[in-house]
Structure 1
Amino acid sequence: MGKTPFVLRPKNAAADSEDLPYKYVPLGAGQIRLLHLNPGQEADQLNGELIVKSLEELPPRQKVGTAAQTDPIDPEKYVCFDAISYVWGHITRFYSTPTSRRAHVYWADGLCINQLDIAEKEVQVSLMGIIYSTATRVLCDIGEETENFTLVLDATERYWKRNIRRGLVLGQGDSMTLSGESTAKLLDIPYPTDEEADAIKDVEGYEWPARYLQFISAPWFHRLWVVQEFVLRRDVVMIVGRQHITWGQPWAGTLWYKVSKWPWDQAEYTNEDLISLFTSYNYMCLVRSCRLIDLKTLHGREFNDIAKLLLNGVEMNQANLPMSMVLFSSHGCSVPRDRYFGILGMIDEDDKEKALSIRPDYTYSMRDITMRFWKYALQTDSGGELLLCAGLPGRAEEYPS
Structure 2
Amino acid sequence: MTSYIPLNQPRQIRIIHLAPGSREDLLCGTIETVLLGEASYEALSYEWGAPDRVCNFGLKHGSIPITTSLHQALRDLRRKAGVRTIWADGICINQDDLVERTKQVTLMGEIYKNASRVLTYIGPDADDSSSAIEFAANLVAFGVSRIRHSDPRIHIPEELPNLGLPAITSPRWQALRKLLTRTWVTRCWCGQEFLLNRNLTVMCGTTELRDWELFSKVVRLVFARRLPAHILPASGQDPLAIGECVFALGGVRRAILDKRAQFRLSNLLPQFHAFQATDPKDKIFSVLGLAVDREALGVTVDYTQATEELYTRVAGSILSLYQDVNFLSNNLGVKRLDLPSWVPDWSSWVFGTEYVNRDCGFKSKWNLSSRWVLTLENRT
Q: TM-score, normalised by structure 1?
A: 0.66
8 Å CA contact retained: 1:325, 1:391? no
Deviation of 1:230 after TM superposition, in Å, equals 0.8
Please name the residue that 1:154 is paired with.
134
Query: Cα gap change, 1:217/1:41 in structure 2, threshold over 3 Å: closer, same or farther?
Result: closer
Which of the numbers 38, 50, 59 marks the counterpart of 2:19?
A: 38
Deviation of 1:272 after TM superposition, in Å, equals 9.3
Deviation of 1:224 after TM superposition, in Å, equals 0.6
1:80 and 2:40 correspond:
yes
Q: Matched residue of 1:100: which SS?
A: coil
Please name the residue that 1:368 is paired with.
309
User: d(CA) in 1 for partners of 2:303 and 2:89?
Assistant: 16
Please name the residue that 1:182 is paired with.
none
1:130 and 2:110 correspond:
yes
Q: Matched residue of 1:254: which SS?
A: helix
1:353 and 2:295 correspond:
yes
Identity of aligned residues (%): 24
Structure 2: gaps of 5 or more residues: 51-68, 150-162, 342-380
Q: Matched residue of 1:140: which SS?
A: strand
User: d(CA) in 2 for partners of 1:32 and 1:43?
Assistant: 29
Q: Matched residue of 2:112: which SS?
A: helix
Deviation of 1:42 after TM superposition, in Å, equals 3.8
Please name the residue that 2:197 is paired with.
233
8 Å CA contact retained: 1:209, 1:266? yes
- Structure 1, residues 53-83: CA drift from partner, whole Å, max 9, x if none? 11241xxxxxxxxxxxxxxxxxxxxx11111
Please name the residue that 1:334 is paired with.
278
Q: Matched residue of 1:360: which SS?
A: coil
Query: Cα gap change, 1:147/1:363 in structure 2, threshold over 3 Å: closer, same or farther?
Result: closer
Deviation of 1:388 after TM superposition, in Å, equals 3.6
Deviation of 1:23 after TM superposition, in Å, equals 4.9
Query: Cα gap change, 1:98/1:221 in structure 2, threshold over 3 Å: closer, same or farther?
Result: closer
1:96 and 2:75 correspond:
yes
8 Å CA contact retained: 1:86, 1:142? yes
Please name the residue that 2:34 is paired with.
53
Residue 167 of structure 2 aligns to which amino acid in structure 1?
G
8 Å CA contact retained: 1:159, 1:202? no
8 Å CA contact retained: 1:31, 1:55? yes
Structure 1: gaps of 5 or more residues: 1-19, 58-78, 170-200, 295-315
User: d(CA) in 2 for partners of 1:235 and 1:390?
Assistant: 36
Which of the numbers 94, 112, 120 marks the counterpart of 1:140?
A: 120
User: d(CA) in 1 for partners of 2:30 and 2:109?
Assistant: 24
User: d(CA) in 1 for partners of 2:144 and 2:252?
Assistant: 20
User: d(CA) in 1 for partners of 2:208 and 2:148?
Assistant: 25
Deviation of 1:210 after TM superposition, in Å, equals 5.7
Deviation of 1:21 after TM superposition, in Å, equals 4.4
Which of the numbers 256, 279, 282 marks the counterpart of 2:221?
A: 256
Please name the residue that 2:62 is paired with.
none
Q: Matched residue of 1:84: which SS?
A: strand
Query: Cα gap change, 1:165/1:35 in structure 2, threshold over 3 Å: closer, same or farther?
Result: same
Please name the residue that 2:244 is paired with.
279
Which of the numbers 199, 206, 216 marks the counterpart of 2:180?
A: 216
Task: Give the total of aligned pairs.
Answer: 305
User: d(CA) in 2 for partners of 1:83 and 1:317?
Assistant: 25
Query: Cα gap change, 1:383/1:168 in structure 2, threshold over 3 Å: closer, same or farther?
Result: farther
Deviation of 1:126 after TM superposition, in Å, equals 0.7
Deviation of 1:49 after TM superposition, in Å, equals 1.6
Deviation of 1:147 after TM superposition, in Å, equals 3.1
Please name the residue that 1:377 is paired with.
318
The higher-RCO structure (CA 8 Å, 6+ apart) is 1
- Structure 1, residues 105-131: CA drift from partner, whole Å, max 9, x if none? 111111111122222111111111000
Please name the residue that 1:206 is paired with.
168
1:396 and 2:336 correspond:
yes
Q: Matched residue of 1:157: which SS?
A: helix
Which of the numbers 310, 318, 321 marks the counterpart of 2:262?
A: 318
User: d(CA) in 1 for partners of 2:301 and 2:325?
Assistant: 23
